[in-house]
Structure 1
Amino acid sequence: MQGYEFRYGPHLISGPGAARRLAEVLPAGRSLFVTDANVRALGLADGVLAALPDPIVFDAVEEDPSRDTLMAAVAAGEGCTSVVGFGGGSPMDVAKLAAYLIATGEDLDTLWGVGKALGRKLPLALVPTTAGTGSEATAVTVITVGGSEKRGVNSPALYADWAVLDAELTLTLPRHVTAATGIDAMVHAIEAYTSARRKNPMSDMFARKALRLISDNLLIACDRPDDLEARGKMLTAAHLAGIAFDNAPVAGVHALAYPLGGHFHVPHGLSNALMLTHVLSHNMEAARPLYAELGAMLDPTSRDIGQQGQAQAFVQHLSRLSRAAGVPQRLSAVGIGPEHLDLLASEAMKQERLLVNNPCPITEADARRLYEAAL
């Protein structure tokens, strides 16, 4: 048995209404409350904000948050004693780095990459309002720089002190958001389970549990949006998938998804969903045994059809689930055409930190072919 390392950071608080407990755990003083305008408009943060003593609210976070947005949040939080990230992955990512930069005053450009942030951040609480990114569980944040390029900071210093899973906050999510973010979490689990780097028995355990929970509950959450139990299980699944990919990093699906967000502003979960089955088919030769394991787990009746059949059944199961949830299936549905293929393929090659984790190589020609298949 080979040795491995496994890490997990936050103190987890879970249950309906759990977000209202934030005021009990945060230190005295003013909090920087990082969110987005949509979350504010829906009133999801009202109860928490009312319980916090004089918070500073920064609600200008956009999808694929920019460096300028991050630095504006840092400026807004000067003098704060804690930071709360409340919303989807974008507000949580901004909150992580803001908590670090406010406390340390370090130059952001010295932090890109793995293990560069070595200082001590402000106390940080992360509260997801979607069941998808798992950002509340991870020590990585992704920021858009230069207009379209995504860069990451990955360091244990970014772990939240508290991760709060409150299913009540997800009850009003529209179906298309529930579907896309659920598929996003599914991609995290699958890519962690098949990652070429740092895959280990612990990450496998979290990935398998996450995948089973999503497979069993995604359509229930889509079809019965007020089902608190299904919503809670989806939040748990996204969190478990976050733990998994924080330790066994994601790969080709994410590498090809990022240019869709950076250049065409396709939401991250939908970007992953659009590329999922195409990349998995490309990986089939290298990852067949692992896909077969996951296929047999989700459908025990497939255990008698052999490894190839199990692996193919797994990919087909994911495709059916995505379609049933109502997720768009073609790049053309989000305004991407043949004229964009060269740009996308070239941009995907910049995601070296992700491509190195894929079970098999993805060349620029491969990327172009996969985008073409997804049109």
Structure 2
Amino acid sequence: MAAINLPRIIRVGGGALAELPAALAQCGLSRPFVVTDEFLVSSGMVARMLDVLESAGITATVFADTVPDPTVTVVEQALDALRWSGADCVIGFGGGSPIDTAKVIAALALDPRPIPSLKAPVQTDDGGLPIIAVPTTAGTGSEATKFTIVTDEATSEKMLCAGLAFLPTVAIVDFELTMGKPARLTADTGIDSLTHAIEAYVSKKANPFSDAMAISAMKLIAPNIRTACAEPGNRAAREAMMVGAHHAGIAFSNASVALVHGMSRPVGAFFHVPHGLSNAMLLPAVTAFSAASALGRYADCARAMGVAGEAEGDQAAVARLLEELAGLNRDLQVPTPRSHGISEEQWFAVVPEMARQAIASGSPGNNPRVADAAEIERLYGEVFG
């Protein structure tokens, strides 16, 4: 049996941002608190969204001090600002970090408690304020998930928080908000969403619904990611990447992620590597480690991505998948931790703690081949470069 959870309202397509006031009205909401970042303010994108709201007579309060990999300190600052605002909902506008911050403060708005108390395996299902997610990158799929990530500075741990309290009520999925994003961001967020789709499909918690979403995501992302990076203004590629990221978010929210994500979060926490990039660094090696334990499933991924023919045997299809993942990293210039500038001494000094945090998150337990601490440490050594 599978339990499926989705946003109540999803508006998808070019220009969907214009539908934001109507979606708020459908939910009886009129006093939004917007969580975003300084870049989106300075680029004029926040003003663009505020204009849409103001043209419908809606005035918003804006908090623009979010940081990449939201920290407990910044989340508490946002929560404090929210309490004074009199808002009846929270809009997360941006990439994964503003949306993650929005989710946590919305969940805690009516029931304040220490943020580390939300860490998985705790399930936070009691709703706080309604969450409206408006992604401006095609990557995290956070607009459709019941997960959020907060970094505890005290322990250098990226805490996975899960539950229906973090599931947006409204998702506005407008690919036009991603137009012109730089190639590095497009590549990292794109491989992030491809990882979501693959991991959801091979997860031990996969189900027919999540499978359909994951396959759809792979069919959309794989043929379009290189084009979206090379041609930032290509509307068809941008739309495929945005819808693909959304489907991948739905897939992993309802099937969970696995070993790549479990290992990726500590890399982000210790070395401030963007989440999509740390996933990309790990994906080929972890897939090679896991493939023999779910050959048919990984072969399905290769076929969905268009790198293996329908008639091709599973073994050959998986070999093509591994070639494609390595080729994708090469073509999109994904660095190794070493070439990214991380010192070998620092990396290997924290490998045991990264392995401990990975296992503690629970995600590696969903992997087709469950790795022990020693195997995770070996994989970290292999990907270092």
- Normalising by structure 2, report the TM-score: 0.91
Q: Which residue of 2 aligns with 1:21?
A: 19
Contact residue 31 and residue 55 of structure 1 kept, 8 A = yes
Q: Which residue of 1 aligns with 2:9?
A: 11
Q: How far is 1:301 from its partner?
A: 5.1
- Residue number among 175, 179, 182 corresponding to 2:183 in the alignment: 175
Which runs of 5 or more residues in structure 1 are unaligned? none
Contact residue 260 and residue 344 of structure 1 kept, 8 A = no
Residues in 1 aligned to 2:230 and 2:370: alpha-carbon distance in whole angstroms: 38
**Matches of residues 246-257 of structure 1 in structure 2 within 5 Å?**
246-257=253-264
- Residue number among 45, 57, 61 corresponding to 2:62 in the alignment: 57
Count residues with an aligned counterpart.
371
Contact residue 302 and residue 309 of structure 1 kept, 8 A = no
Amino acid at match of 1:363: D
Q: How far is 1:61 from its partner?
A: 0.9
Q: Which residue of 2 aligns with 1:188?
A: 196
SS where residue 250 of structure 1 aligns? coil
Q: Which residue of 2 aligns with 1:35?
A: 36
Q: How far is 1:107 from its partner?
A: 4.4
Residues in 2 aligned to 1:348 and 1:237: alpha-carbon distance in whole angstroms: 30
SS where residue 223 of structure 2 aligns? helix
* Correspondence 1:334 to 2:340: yes
1:28/1:295 CA distance change after superposition, 3 Å: closer
- Residue number among 366, 372, 376 corresponding to 1:363 in the alignment: 372
Contact residue 85 and residue 125 of structure 1 kept, 8 A = yes
1:264-320 deviations in Å (ceiling 9; x for gaps): 100000000001001111112212221112223334754555321111111111222
Q: Which residue of 1 aligns with 2:275?
A: 268
Q: Which residue of 2 aligns with 1:67?
A: 72
Residues in 1 aligned to 2:122 and 2:374: alpha-carbon distance in whole angstroms: 32
Amino acid at match of 1:43: G
Residues in 2 aligned to 1:324 and 1:161: alpha-carbon distance in whole angstroms: 37
1:28/1:134 CA distance change after superposition, 3 Å: closer
Identical counterparts, % of pairs:
36
Q: Which residue of 1 aligns with 2:168?
A: 160
1:176-220 deviations in Å (ceiling 9; x for gaps): 000110000000000111112x21111111101101100111112
Amino acid at match of 1:95: A
Residues in 2 aligned to 1:35 and 1:147: alpha-carbon distance in whole angstroms: 25
Q: How far is 1:29 from its partner?
A: 4.2
Residues in 2 aligned to 1:345 and 1:290: alpha-carbon distance in whole angstroms: 30
Contact residue 6 and residue 250 of structure 2 kept, 8 A = yes
**Matches of residues 128-277 of structure 1 in structure 2 within 5 Å?**
128-145=135-152, 146-196=154-204, 198-277=205-284
Amino acid at match of 2:40: V
Q: How far is 1:347 from its partner?
A: 1.4
Q: Which residue of 2 aligns with 1:45?
A: 46
Residues in 1 aligned to 2:311 and 2:175: alpha-carbon distance in whole angstroms: 38
1:93-113 deviations in Å (ceiling 9; x for gaps): 110111121133344344332
RMSD value, Cα: 1.8
Residues in 2 aligned to 1:226 and 1:172: alpha-carbon distance in whole angstroms: 6
SS where residue 283 of structure 1 aligns? helix
SS where residue 163 of structure 1 aligns? strand
Q: How far is 1:371 from its partner?
A: 2.0
Q: How far is 1:174 from its partner?
A: 0.3
Q: How far is 1:34 from its partner?
A: 0.2
Which runs of 5 or more residues in structure 2 are unaligned? none
Residues in 2 aligned to 1:160 and 1:114: alpha-carbon distance in whole angstroms: 20
Residues in 2 aligned to 1:205 and 1:56: alpha-carbon distance in whole angstroms: 38
Contact residue 303 and residue 310 of structure 1 kept, 8 A = no
